[in-house]
Each structure stands twice: as C-alpha cells, then as structure tokens.
C-alpha cells in the first residue's frame, strides 16, 4: 500500500502525474459507492502493472531461447539493424518503423509461444445467439489460441520459428484485432473481442525496443559444455507444464558485438541508474517509479 498512499498524497497536493492511478483517485467516490475500499483500488492500479510485467518478461525470455536456437534469424535481424541504425548508437523508438524484421521476430515468438495457452477466458453475462448457436448465460468462453496459432492453413510450417511470415504485418497487433476480418490478424496472443488486452501496444513496444537493443549490442549463442557448443531445444519439454507456457531455466551466452557497443550499453545503464528515464515528459527512476518533485 506504500505506493498507493504516496499517490494519494501527490493527488491531494496536486502533483500526481497523469496515469491510471490518478484517474482512479479522480473517481474514487464512484468506486467507494460500488463497495470498493482503498486496498481494492490499490489492487486495481497495481494489477495493471503486474499483468504487464510478468507476461512481457516471459515473452522476452522466450525470445532469447528461440534466438539462441536460430542463429539465422539473429543474423538477418542484426543486418537490418546495421542498415537502419548503424553500429554507433543504440536503436530508439523512432527507428522501429525501419526495423520490420525485428518487429516480425516479436510477432513470431508471440505466435509460436503464447504465454497463456488456452487464451484469456471470457464469461457470458447474458444468453447470446451466435449464428446458429445459443450460448447460455454463465458460459465460460475460451479462445483456442494454440489451435489458431498452429493451423497450417493460416501459418505455413507453423512449428518453425519463421519471422518472415510477418514481414507484411507492419501494424500493431491491437490494430489488427480491431479489424472485422479475423483472417487479417497477425496472432491471437492478446485475445479477442472487446476484452482484448488493453496493454497490447505497450507490450509490443517494450518487446520491440528490448529486442532491437539486445541484438544491436550482443550475439546470443548456445552454451558451451565440455568445450562444445550445445544445441538449444525449444520443444515442449523446455517449458513448464500447465496453462502458462513459461520456459524452464536455460543457459545462453551474450557475446558483445564489439567493445564500443558494450561500452555504450554500460554508459546507458549508468545514466539510467543516476537519472532514470523520461517517459513522455514524466521522470521515472530506474525501476519505472515516478520520481518525487
């Protein structure tokens, strides 16, 4: 509750940043009248952070796994980075429109390894008639994400990690989700319908820039055992069983592309620890928490 109490004090002082928690406080009387208390409101605000933190982290972990197992993909992504960005500076969000292959790598890992295998569950709060089917009130509805993502009529060779399949998908996943044609979708990891993930664009942006910076600075290689580079597996046995498709701990080597790029990464980290970041005019510390003024 410490962060919530801090936000309350900032709100009362008129210094609270523009954010979701502030919107909750602006309408807190309405929330209270609905039967919620301060702890509930803190969970509502914090849940938005928690939901995006773990899922994005798992997706990035899966990206490292698949890239370690697919050096060809890494090589092509790095070639694109050198053409669009060059070796002298880190990629920025302004570069992302020139990095379609890097973005395609993110879309492909979200397709081949959706974190939530059965998809996000929906609940019918009234009887619904869809085509010739009656869906009774109280029915739990699940998007069969795995079936859709491994349908060979939709994705050729669906068990292969092939970012090339998404080179023509230049829009955000949330933009495809808003289209009426389901066959225009890139993938269904962010769910479907009106309950599609509200943080889809944030997640995609986070993964895009993280991958671009990692591959700009490092080559990801399999581990070496007894002097021999071993193969990295990506089969089901490499993931924990259950509805959440999370990679088991695995080894990989991050090899700096050159000394200058490694130095650049270290310098940026030092700056982040000292000054934090500027997020659309809001100063946050290295952990992403808004700084006190």
Binding residues: 197
Beta bridge partners of 153: none
DSSP code, position 179: S
DSSP code, position 14: T
Q: How far is it, in rounded angstroms, from Cα 76 to Cα 82?
A: 10
Buried b (16+ CB within 10 A) or exposed e, 275-292: ebeeeeeeeeeeeeebee
Q: How far is it, in rounded angstroms, from Cα 101 to Cα 98?
A: 9
Buried b (16+ CB within 10 A) or exposed e, 1-10: eeebeebbeb
Cβ atoms of 129 and 123 within 8 Å: the answer is no
Residue positions forming the annotated binding site for heme: 197
Q: What are phi and psi of 58, to 5 degrees?
A: -65, -40
Cβ atoms of 144 and 84 within 8 Å: the answer is no
């Amino acid at each position: 509750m410490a962060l919530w109490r801090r936000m309350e004090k900032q709100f009362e002082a008129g210094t609270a940043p523009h954010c979701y928690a502030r919107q909750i406080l602006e309408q807190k009387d309405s929330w209270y009248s609905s039967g919620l208390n301060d702890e509930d409101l803190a969970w509502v605000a914090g849940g938005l952070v928690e939901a995006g933190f773990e899922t994005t982290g798992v997706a990035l972990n899966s990206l490292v796994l698949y890239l370690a197992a697919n050096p060809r993909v890494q090589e092509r992504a790095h070639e694109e980075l050198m053409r669009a960005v060059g070796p002298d500076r880190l990629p920025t969000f302004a570069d992302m429109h020139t990095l379609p292959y890097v973005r395609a790598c993110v879309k492909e890992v979200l397709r081949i390894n959706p974190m939530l295998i059965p998809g996000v569950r929906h609940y019918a709060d009234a009887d619904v008639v869809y085509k010739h089917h009656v869906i009774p009130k109280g029915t739990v509805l699940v998007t069969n994400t795995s079936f859709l993502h491994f349908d060979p009529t939709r994705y050729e060779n669906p068990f292969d990690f092939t970012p090339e399949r998404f080179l023509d998908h230049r829009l955000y996943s949330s933009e495809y989700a808003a289209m009426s044609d389901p066959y225009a979708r890139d993938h269904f990891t962010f769910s479907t319908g009106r309950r599609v993930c509200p943080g889809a664009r944030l997640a995609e942006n986070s993964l895009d820039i993280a991958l671009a910076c990692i591959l700009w600075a490092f080559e990801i290689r399999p581990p070496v055992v007894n002097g021999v580079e071993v193969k990295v597996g990506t089969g089901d046995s490499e993931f924990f069983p259950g509805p959440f498709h999370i990679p088991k701990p695995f080894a990989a080597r991050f090899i700096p592309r050159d000394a200058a790029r490694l130095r650049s990464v270290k310098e940026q980290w030092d700056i982040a620890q000292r000054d934090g970041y500027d997020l659309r005019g809001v100063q946050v510390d290295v952990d992403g928490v808004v700084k006190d003024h």
